[in-house]
Chains A and B, each alone.
Chain A
Amino acid sequence: MMTDTFAQTAPFTILFLPLLGMLVIAVVGPRVHRAASAAIANLAVLGAFALTVALALDVWHRPPSDQVLTVTYPPAWAAHQQFWAHIPPLTVSFELRIDGLSLAWMLIVTGVGFLIHLYSVGYMLDSRWYRTFFAYMNLFIFAMLLLVMAGNFLWLLVGWGGVGLASYLLIGFDMHRPAAVAAARKALIMNVIGDVGIMLAMFLLFAHFGSLSYKEIFANVTAAGTPALNWIGIWLLLGAVAKSAQLPLHTWLPDAMEGPTPVSALIHAATMVTAGVYLVARAHPIYDHAPAAAQAVAVVGCATAFFAATIGCVQYDIKRVLAYSTMSQIGYMVLAVGVGAYAAGTFHFITHAFFKALLFMAAGIIIHNLGGEQDIRNMGGLARRLPFAFWAFLVGTLALCGVFPFSGFFSKDAILDQLLVLHHPVLWAFGTATAALTAYYMFRLLFMTFFTGGFRGKAQTHAGTVASMSVPVALLIGLALVGGWIVVPGHDGLTPLLRAAFADTGTMAALDHFSGIVSLAALGAGLVGFVAAYLLYERPSGLRPTLRRSLQPVRNLLANAYYVDATYHWLFEVPVLTLASDIARYLDPEAVAGGAAAVARTATAAGDAVRLWEAGYVRRYGLSMLVGVVIVLALFLYLAGGTAALGGR
């Protein structure tokens, strides 16, 4: 059976090609030309992508009942009851899960990942640590693939921690800048909070199911009962919230923009931050039977979508606007998987990866050409200077705002439509309002960057867009344009695979639903946002200063991102730092150092006292012997009852 052999070996090869790439770069990197390191990294990811496409086609051609595979390595072990780890009663196999859900993520991680690797070849050319960068990028691809391909929660957690590590390394890639290092630390700490959530969920899963394997848990998920499933869902949500930068653990993502722009595009827009969406979609049998946890997921997603969009409206850093936009869009996805629209959430992840990676790469071209300038107040009029970046940015913006026929239109409408179909009108209203905000902040960004008068900055543009940067951007322009047709209703694409992956939920039928009213409402909301941005930034009038004055308190609130960072600062940082400095000031010198000095003083005094007996004067020894003898004798007499011993007779 040729195909079965392929389906057995391909996942393993896909997973370990990027790891192999990283190891090869680490071992031979310093001895070969830096271009060779880049080539190794690119080829590893490209190979993984090609194999993923072949695997997806292989699975696609199977009958629907055979489209969910669990592959165990080494293959012979499964038959012989051998396990990767066997600690009774826990057994863990090295198993990979291949279905529509993991294939969707694998295709994006390797496909978009390859484009961003290619982009980095040019973007990172000036970096001193060129080889290290590509090694880290390959490590990230490996960890992310492990996360989405894992067949049980243990391997998921390994990948989950791995992407956190890669993210940490890449955010702090410019380790000579304190801001980058601080941002990396912040991201790692926030992510570890999420890791703890997943571990707690795993403990509960093991307690209730005696296994960590998806196959065994999902097969009899109802056995645990609703309260237990709700708790598992809540802890998984904690992990998802931390990794996907949802409220209230979102503050690390805007800071993560300290990393190089390709990193922002790959990890903090297209792939890693959507891991929370993947987790909820993967655990959908649990959430289907845990209504309270699913409700919490939906509310968190909806709140994040709305609040992140409002913050994005007042930011001036081009990458920060995109970061808040990413949070907002992932909020949409989390909202979708929270209400049970798993396929719609996955769909939005795919299109979002296209257009958000495109936006980041276009922003990267601008930043690259302006010598590191990121503040849009110092840009303006760039449409003529950087026409290619402008067109790329325009396509990305239109796709993000959900304009027909760009990819975002289909996926965002799928989510909004399903919110109504599944009877969540309030969430739908917030989702549609967010669409208006999205259009406002994106066009504000577009106008301020490319139009609004002339160039306001001092930095000189130098034509430096090399082919390795423009080719992936051009490809992503195409994908952002037509990517929506992958899952469009009535079209084939990934839909059958997703249908098989989510066959056990009752919400798949809704994917074929299409409502013109919902689309018109979303488009109308987007138009409102666009007109607002146009009037405020392209039509100089008295309106903008007036609005500015009257809305100053709101502006301050938004510009400080609802003071969440400040709250965390006062809640956690200040008490800990105060305690530490108090310890350093009082406890340490008084108790610790003082205690040590007291011990030393006591020992010295005891030594001095004892030394008196060792004076070297023979007569003093004689005297002490005499005193000793007298004491011993007196004691004897006293114990023997006095005169009875003396009188003797």
Chain B
Amino acid sequence: MQIPPVADYLIVAAALFVVGVVGFLVRRNPITMLMAIELMWNAGNLAFAAFARSFGDMSGQVFVFIVITVAAAEAAIALAIVVMVFRRRRDADVDDISVMRG
């Protein structure tokens, strides 16, 4: 099976990342925003994996696992915050919780 060139993977990764960025910037629902962040994480992971394969170096794949771990931790904390905010305000629009500004 012909392995696609690394550039193709990078194109997909870039596309995923842009979708994540746009999603993060245009949506106001924190759950959706967390999902967009997840997209960006995984765009990065895809690039790591593609390069690891391309260079024949496993350290890129190791990074993918670390990133997944950190992303899980981030998601746990972020969801905890969202739950707390929702309990207090019966709502979870991120623009409405701008009271902590300087």
Q: Contact residues of A with B, CB < 8 Å? A: 611, 614-619, 622-623, 626
Interface membership of B11, Cβ < 8 A: no
- B25–A617 touching, CB < 8 Å: no
Cα of A616 to Cα of B96 in the assembled complex, Å? 9
Residues of A within 8 A of B25 (CB): 619, 622-623, 626
Question: Chain B's nearest CB lies how many Å from the CB of A258?
Answer: 65
Contact A617 B24 (CB under 8 A): no
The B68-102 residues at the A interface (CB cut-off 8 A) are 94-95, 97-102
Give the complex CA separation of A580 and B100 in angstroms.
52
Within 8 A of A (CB), among B30-86: 33
Contacts of A619 in B (CB 8 A): 24-26, 28, 33, 94-95
- Partner of B99 from the list A616, A618, A623, A626 (CB cut-off 8 Å) is A616
Docked Cα-Cα span, A615 to B96, in Å, equals 11
Task: For residue B14, give the distance in angstroms from its CB to the closest CB of chain A.
Answer: 12
Q: Which of B24, B100, B102 contacts A622 (CB 8 A)?
A: B24
Query: By the criterion CB–CB under 8 Å, are B24 and A615 in contact?
Result: no
Tell me the minimal C-beta distance from B23 to chain A in angstroms.
10
- Listed by A's residue number, 22 A-B pairs whose Cβ atoms lie within 8 Å are A611-B101, A611-B102, A615-B98, A615-B101, A616-B98, A616-B99, A616-B100, A617-B94, A617-B95, A617-B101, A618-B33, A619-B24, A619-B25, A619-B28, A619-B94, A619-B95, A622-B21, A622-B24, A622-B25, A623-B25, A626-B21, A626-B25
How far, in angstroms, from A387 to B100 measured CA to CA in the complex?
A: 96
| Chain B residue with the shortest CB-CB distance to A617 | B98
6 nearest A-B residue pairs (beta carbon): A616-B101, A616-B98, A614-B102, A618-B94, A617-B98, A622-B24
CA A615 – CA B95 in complex, angstroms? 10
Which residues of chain A have C-beta atoms less than 8 A from B98's C-beta?
615-617
Which residues on A sit within 8 Å (CB–CB) of B21? Answer: 622, 626
- B27 to chain A: closest residue by CB: A619
Known: A611-B101, A619-B24, A622-B25; 9 extra A-B contacts, CB below 8 A, are A614-B101, A615-B98, A615-B101, A616-B101, A617-B94, A617-B98, A619-B28, A619-B33, A622-B21
Give the distance in Å from the alpha carbon of A626 to the alpha carbon of B100 in the complex: 22
Which residues of chain A are near B95, meaning CB under 8 Å? 617, 619
Residues of B within 8 Å of A623, CB to CB, are 25
- Min CB distance A317 to B, Å, is 74
Q: How far is the CA of A619 from the CA of B97 in the complex (A)?
A: 12
Chain B interface main SS type: helix
Residues of B close to A617: CB separation below 8 A: 94-95, 98, 101
Q: A384 CA to B100 CA in the complex, in Å?
A: 98
A16 to B95, CA, bound (A): 85
- Min Cβ gap B18→A in Å is 10
Q: Which residues of B contact A616 (CB under 8 A)?
A: 97-102
User: Residues of A contacting B24 with CB < 8 Å?
Assistant: 619, 622
A617→B102 CA distance, assembly (Å): 11
Question: In the bound complex, what is the Cα–Cα distance between A614 and B100 (angstroms)?
Answer: 9
Cα A151 to Cα B94 in complex, Å, equals 89
* A73 CB → nearest B CB, Å: 71
Across the two chains, which residue of chain A brings its CB closest to B97?
A616
CB distance from B42 to the nearest CB of A (A): 17
A614 to B102, CA, bound (A): 6
Q: Which residue of A lies closest to B100 (CB)?
A: A616
Minimum distance in angstroms from A620 CB to a CB of chain B? 9
On chain B, the residues within 8 Å of A618 by CB distance are: 33, 94
Q: How far is the CB of A19 from chain B (nearest CB, A)?
A: 67
Q: Distance in Å from the Cβ of B12 to the closest Cβ of chain A? A: 18
Q: Smallest CB-CB separation from A622: which chain B residue? A: B24
Distance of A614 Cα from B24 Cα, bound (Å): 18
Q: Tell me, in angstroms, the Cα distance from A618 to B102 when the chains sit together.
A: 13
Q: Which residue of A lies closest to B21 (CB)?
A: A626
Within the complex, the shortest CB–CB distance from B56 to chain A, in Å, comes to: 15
In the bound complex, CA of A622 to CA of B24 (Å): 8
Cα separation A623 to B24 with both chains bound (whole Å): 9
- With both beta carbons as reference points, the residue of chain B lying nearest to A619 in the complex is identified as B25
Expressed in whole angstroms, the minimum distance between the Cβ of A324 and any Cβ of chain B is 76
CA distance A614 to B98 in the complex (A): 10
Of B28, B33, B99, B101, most buried by chain A (CB within 10 Å of CB) is B101
Shortest C-beta distance, B54 to chain A (Å), equals 11
| A333 nearest CB across to chain B (Å) | 80
Distance to closest chain B CB from A167 (angstroms): 65
Complex: A572 Cα to B21 Cα, angstroms: 76
Q: How far is the CA of A431 from the CA of B99 in the complex (A)?
A: 95
Chain A residues whose CB sits within 8 angstroms of the CB of B97 once the complex forms: 616
Would you give the shortest CB distance from B35 to chain A, in whole angstroms? 14
- Closest residue of chain B to A629 (Cβ to Cβ) is B21
In the complex, A615→B24 CA distance in Å? 17
Closest to B24 in A: A622
Bound-state CA distance A569–B23 (Å) is: 82
B22 and chain A: residue at smallest CB distance: A626
Pick the most buried of A614, A618, A623: most chain B CB atoms within 10 A of its CB.
A618
Tell me the nearest residue of chain A to B101, going by C-beta. Answer: A616
A615–B21 alpha-carbon span in the complex (Å): 20
CB distance from B80 to the nearest CB of A (A): 16
B97 to chain A, nearest CB (A): 8
Taken together as a complex, chains A and B put the C-alpha atoms of A615 and B98 apart, in Å, by 7
Write out the residue numbers on chain A whose beta carbons fall within 8 Å of the beta carbon of B26: 619
CA–CA, A626 and B20, complex, Å: 12
Distance in angstroms between the alpha carbons of A614 and B95 in the assembled complex: 13
Tell me, rounded to whole Å, the shortest Cβ–Cβ distance linking A75 to chain B: 77
* Complex Cα gap A616–B101 (Å): 4
Give complex CA distance A611, B98 in Å: 13
Q: Hey, which chain A residues are within 8 Å of B28, CB to CB?
A: 619
- What are the residues of chain A within 8 A of B102 when measuring CB–CB? 611, 614, 616
- Bound-state CA distance A617–B100 (Å) is 9
A619 and B21 CA atoms in complex are apart in Å by: 10
- B81–chain A nearest beta-carbon distance, Å: 11
**A623 and B94 alpha carbons, distance in the complex (Å):** 14
> Which residues of chain B are within 8 angstroms of A615 by Cβ–Cβ distance?
98, 101
Q: How far is the CB of A479 from chain B (nearest CB, A)?
A: 88
Q: Which residues of B contact A614 (CB under 8 A)?
A: 101-102
In angstroms, Cα B33 to Cα A156, docked, is: 89
- Shortest B87–chain A CB gap in Å is 19
Min CB distance A47 to B, Å, is 78
- B102 nearest in chain A by CB position: A614
Nearest CB of B to A182, in Å: 58
A144 to nearest B CB, angstroms?
Answer: 71
What is the CA–CA distance of A626 and B21 in the complex, to the nearest angstrom? 8
User: How far is A617 from B94 in the complex, measured between Cα atoms in Å?
Assistant: 7
Q: Which residues of A contact B94 (CB under 8 A)?
A: 617-619
Q: In the bound complex, how far is the Cα of B98 from the Cα of A52, in angstroms?
A: 91
Distance in Å: Cβ of B83 to nearest Cβ of chain A? 16
